[in-house]
Each structure stands twice: as structure tokens, then as C-alpha cells.
Structure 1
């Protein structure tokens, strides 16, 4: 008869002993320290910590600030040219139960909408950000519309209105390259109406992010600047009953100054 192999947990007298755990585990640190560690990593590196264990799976969601751009996912030593992260061509399918970023205070998005004709993506889908980050205080939404742009007119149909979901912490909102398209206007109106503590919302028709190869022209971008300004002034200022909306006027001098200026990536803080 084969002898039973003695388990490493068994003592000769039959008593059970627990295996000693290694001295200190990173996952045993208090959450505020883990949040600080995660905040020191690039976004791409922070997300990768989710494979360490079940405990680490969503720790990266505890960051107090998030930046979704090409710069945020590249190595710190990267010195190359300006690229934009993942151009959006199709409408995204949002999860039924999105992640909650309960520690997030500052969110910066740099997004390119790319299409040879009229785009299929829907900017209003980003309204879910307010629900996903219930304690967010500052939102920067920088768009680059590399597609056919048409400003909103009443002939385009009634503006959509999502069910109200008040957000009690968002104070500052900055939206750039607002070309006055229907879904852009709907998102801005949703944020304005649902942000109870909103102190300032800046709407700027001019872009702050762009691909290196792109050049602004009066024929295409110039009229879009004017369209965005007119739509924001007509609809957003009318809906603003607290005096928090500031619409930046873009004149021809601004367009001429940007026409041949290459896009420069902001310098990282040292």
C-alpha cells in the first residue's frame, strides 16, 4: 500500500499549522498610499497593475486625475511628434454598468473624430462620464473634428434630452473645438443643466489638439469657428441662468495665426 505523502502543513503530531505569509505585501498598504503610487504612473502602466491580483484589478480607478491622450500612454522618455490617441470613427457601445471612478477629481480627454464623410460617432454618449465620476470637479474635453462638420439648425430636428442626473461636485468645464454640431450642443446642454455646483463653463470653437499634418484653413475650419460661436451664443447662453458660461469668440485673426502653426504638445510638469 502506497504511503501517504506528508503535507507541508502537517506536524508530526497531527496538528495543522498555517504557512507563513511573506513579510509585507504591497496590496496590504492603505488605499490612500496605493492611490498615491498609482498616480505616479503613466495611465498605461497604471491600468496594467490590474493583472497583479483581484485586489489590484480596479485600483487604477482610484486615481484623482486622468488624462486620455497620446502623451498619457507613452513612455516618459518619448520625444517624438504629436499624435492623437485612437481616432473615433464609429459609435462606441457603452457597458450597461460602467466603472465608477469615485476618487477622480480631474479628467482631461483629447479625442479625434475621424471620418471622410459625416461621422457616425455620438458626442452625447460622453454624458455618462458624469455618472462614472460622481466626485469629479474639473472636466476638460478637447476635440479634433477631422470630418465633415455641420452646425445645428432647427431643421435638423429637436435637441435630445437625457433623463436628469444631477452632479453635485463638477465646478469647472472646458470644451474646445466646439463647432456647433447637434451632438456637441446636446452634451454641453446636458452638462450645464445637470451640474449643480458649476462655477465656470468655457466653450471655445478653436481646437487645442490636432494632428501634426493638419493645417487650419479659412475655407473649412474658419466657417466652423464662426458656426460654433453662433450656436453656443444662441443656445448655451440662453440656457445659462447662472451666468457661468463663457463663449470664446474666434475671429479671422485667430484663424490666420493658427493656419500654419504646427501643433505643439504641452510640456510635462517636472
Structure 2
């Protein structure tokens, strides 16, 4: 009867193999999958994960990816590897990314992921927006593939580092992130899709 699973681990191909084998009896009935990455997602090329053949998640409605990162090691890293799981979920309605990290700058061209029609995806939330390239390539992926997309939510805050009350430095960082999101995404997102920048 299990329909919701929360996994803490490193999304290497070994972990994905482990998930596939150990959870094979329930994958077809899962409705919510939360994958918490300890940081190694950035150490793998997005091609390694993107081309992984994940078993079909026929009933998955919500996929939440939480990934931790404290430093930035290179310019070739990407979050597009998570699209292998997204492609395996034909009924997916909501995707949430929690990028919990200190701000850093990425100076590279946006990568492209494998195309795959997402017929039911309606809501995308990107939490911890601070590096335009990381998020812009994900937004472009969803805009190109999610034919029923209704809303994109951008939240510059990160629960790992935000304090209440926020420090002046955090407030300044959040405002910079909002400005970057507005600058980059308003021209990308068509009027038919609601863009919410919190």
C-alpha cells in the first residue's frame, strides 16, 4: 500500500540501481518520491544520470529533489540528470527542486536534456534560486517538454542557510536572485504560464 517514499543518499547510478531493485515491487504504485542528495549529484556528469534507464513510475504525481552543495568545483556540472526520473513518470504533475547551497556563479552555456513530452506536469518549483544557468536550463527543459505546464515558482530562499530574522547579507542575496530570475525568465516564460517569483 506504500505510495510515498523519501530516500536519503547519493544519486549515483549505483543508488539508482539499488532503488530499482529494492523498490521494484512498489515503484509502479508510488505517487510521491523525495530524493535527498548529499552533494555528489554535482560530481557526476549530467549525461551519466540523464541516460540512466529508470523503471517506469506509472503513478508518480510528485517528485521532490533536495540537493546539498557548499562549494562549487567546476563549470560543467548540471542538474539535468534528474530528468531521467522525470521521463520515467508519465503522470507527473509537480516537480520541486530544493537547491540548498551557498551562492556561486556559473559561467557556461546552458545544456540541453533529452526531449520527452511531459503531458501532465503542471507545477514546477525551484527553491534556492541563485545561479541563473543551473535553473535556466531546467526551466527551458520544462518549457520545451511540459505541454500542460501552468505555473513556475521561483523562490530564492534556502531553508538550510536562511535565518529569521534574515541577515542583511541574506536579504541582499535574495534580492539579487529575484532580480536575476526576473531578468532571465520573464522573457523565456510565455504569458500562458504563470511565473511566480517569491
Range into which the TM-score falls when normalised by the shorter chain: 0.7 to 0.9
Aligned to 2:2: 38
- 1:139 alignment partner, one of 88, 91, 95: 95
TM-score (norm 1): 0.56
Aligned to 2:57: 101
Conservation of the 8 A alpha-carbon contact between 1:90 and 1:119: no
TM-score (norm 2): 0.74
C-alpha distance in 2 between matches for 1:145 and 1:121: 14
Distance 1:198 1:65, change over 3 A: same
C-alpha distance in 1 between matches for 2:81 and 2:21: 26
Moved more, 233-242 or 111-120: 111-120
- 1:86 alignment partner, one of 31, 38, 47: 38
Unaligned runs of 5+ in 1: 1-36, 52-56, 70-84, 250-270
- 2:69 alignment partner, one of 100, 113, 116: 113
The Cα of 1:227 is off from its aligned counterpart by 3.2
The number of aligned residues is: 182
Conservation of the 8 A alpha-carbon contact between 1:127 and 1:187: no
Q: Does 2:126 align with 1:175?
A: yes
Aligned to 1:54: none
Aligned to 2:155: 204
Unaligned runs of 5+ in 2: 8-17
Aligned to 1:268: none
Conservation of the 8 A alpha-carbon contact between 1:113 and 1:119: no
Higher strand proportion (structure 1 or 2):
2
Conservation of the 8 A alpha-carbon contact between 1:118 and 1:149: no
Q: Does 2:116 align with 1:165?
A: yes
2:2 aligned counterpart, secondary structure = helix
